[in-house]
Amino acid sequence: MSTTSQELDQKQAVTALRRKDLLGIAELSPEEIELILDTADAMKEVGTRPIKKVPALRGKTVVNLFFEPSTRTRTSFEIAEKRLSADTLSIAIGTSSVVKGETLADTALNLEAMSPDMIVLRHASSGACHFLSRVCRSVIINAGDGMHEHPTQALLDAFTIRERKKKLAGLKVAIVGDLLHSRVLRSNIHLLTKLGADVWVCGPPTLIPTDIRRFGVTATSNVEDAVRDADVIMLLRIQLERMEGAYFPSLREYFRVFGMTEERMHLAKPDVMIMHPGPMNRGVEIASEVADGPYSVILDQVANGVAVRMAVLYLLAGGVEHEEAA
């Protein structure tokens, strides 16, 4: 049976995520987002202890299934899982030109036969996590699917902003870069608008997704307008190959027109936060002085990633038992 009047407290608290998987921010309510961020607060504290480990996910098996290379996100998830005492296994599948034959569905079903409780999936196809959640009984956590969403990135971005600014409502957040191909963009747009921020997105017209204004953001190709009086500036990576799709003529030109230089940064508020999900292309979307300067919180983002991912893992871990409950 349960313990003490502690139980009574839990019943009054905002209850946990009402879902089996974390496939994207689009489906989350603002309350669920706040719950994750609040839980991440508590998890961050675990990282300051001498023994950075709690038994919350003891006996649970978590598989990190990465179809796209990623050191940062994968390591972050691994550390988060280990801090919760889960048994973790990371599988890095080679790029599609190397791996032929076995489909995502078959890879997952083979895995599932070994009963992992949770699968953290990164894949090059948008919708891969939705697809997997229909195929697998395990809890699915989206670590980035194609151009669709990267929910834990947006959550750690929000956590980082909240740490400094205490709230997101009313902040002007400018997101600059390759908007069209960015899953970080979509997740951030959903999250920031749900929590009441004023979101501006900026890039060359060739890289602005169709109908982006229907998401409740202001879209512009004028970077000065975008960053003027901004509280937060998020830079998105420009993939070097984009020139081949004729999205813009050259990296040099991109940097001249859109690159975040100190000059442009100073159009923002004096306590502006400079963010980047990484990895950065210095001299393309962001000048080195800005990346390394005092306004940059890029390293904080990385540190917060572990706490946020611990929160997500913890909140979803109960889901394995709850399948019938909903």
Residue 232 near residue 188, CB atoms below 8 Å: no
Q: Does 283 bind another protein (CB under 8 A)?
A: no
Is residue 102 near another protein by the rule CB under 8 A? Answer: no
Residue from the set 97, 214, 250, 270 that interacts with another protein by CB under 8 A: 214
- Burial-class residue 262 by CB neighbours within 10 Å (0-12, 13-18, 19+): exposed
Paired tokens of 291: 């990346």
Interface with another protein (CB under 8 A), residue from 29, 31, 49, 292: 49
Helix axes 72-83, 151-165, angle to 10 degrees: 80
162-201 mask for another protein (x: CB under 8 A)?
Answer: ---------------------x--x---------------
Q: Which of 50, 94, 270, 294 binds another protein (CB under 8 A)?
A: 50
Least distance (Å) between residue 243 CB and another protein? 15
Cα–Cα dist 133/129, whole Å: 6
The conformation of residue 66, written as its DSSP 8-state character, comes to: E
Q: Which position among 62, 65, 80, 128 is part of the footprint of another protein (CB under 8 A)?
A: 128
Is-contact 57 84, C-beta < 8 A? yes
Q: Is 100 an interacting residue with respect to another protein (CB under 8 A)? A: no
Do the Cβ atoms of 60 and 317 come closer than 8 Å? Answer: yes
Number of residues that bind another protein (CB under 8 A): 70
Which range in 16-24, 222-230, 233-241, 301-309 contacts another protein by CB under 8 A?
Answer: 16-24
137 touches another protein (CB under 8 A)? no
By the rule CB under 8 A, 13 interacts with another protein: yes
Decide if residue 1 touches another protein (CB under 8 A).
Answer: yes
Phi and psi torsions of 242, nearest 5°: -60, -25
How far apart are CB 263 and another protein at their closest, in Å? 31
The rounded distance, in Å, linking the Cα atoms of 213 and 269 is 24
First to last CA, the chain: 22
150-154-158 Cα angle (round to 5): 170
Please give the structure tokens belonging to residue 193: 């608008």
Query: How far is Cα 2 from Cα 140, in angstroms, rounded to an integer?
Result: 29
- Closest approach, Cβ 253 to another protein, in A, equals 22
Taking CB under 8 A as the rule, does residue 209 contact another protein?
A: yes
Nearest distance, CB of residue 246 and another protein, angstroms: 10
Q: Which stretch binds another protein (CB under 8 A): 69-77, 211-219, 248-256, 299-307?
A: 211-219
Position 84 contacts another protein (CB under 8 A) = yes
C-alpha distances (whole Å) from 117 to each of 22, 24, 26, 140 are: 14, 19, 24, 9
- CA dist 320 and 26 (Å) reads 22
17 sits near another protein (criterion: CB under 8 A): yes
Q: Which residues bind another protein (CB under 8 A)?
A: 1-10, 13-18, 26, 35, 38-39, 41-43, 45-46, 49-51, 53-57, 60, 84, 103-105, 123-128, 130-131, 134, 145-149, 183, 186, 209-212, 214-215, 311, 314-315, 317-318, 320-322, 324-325
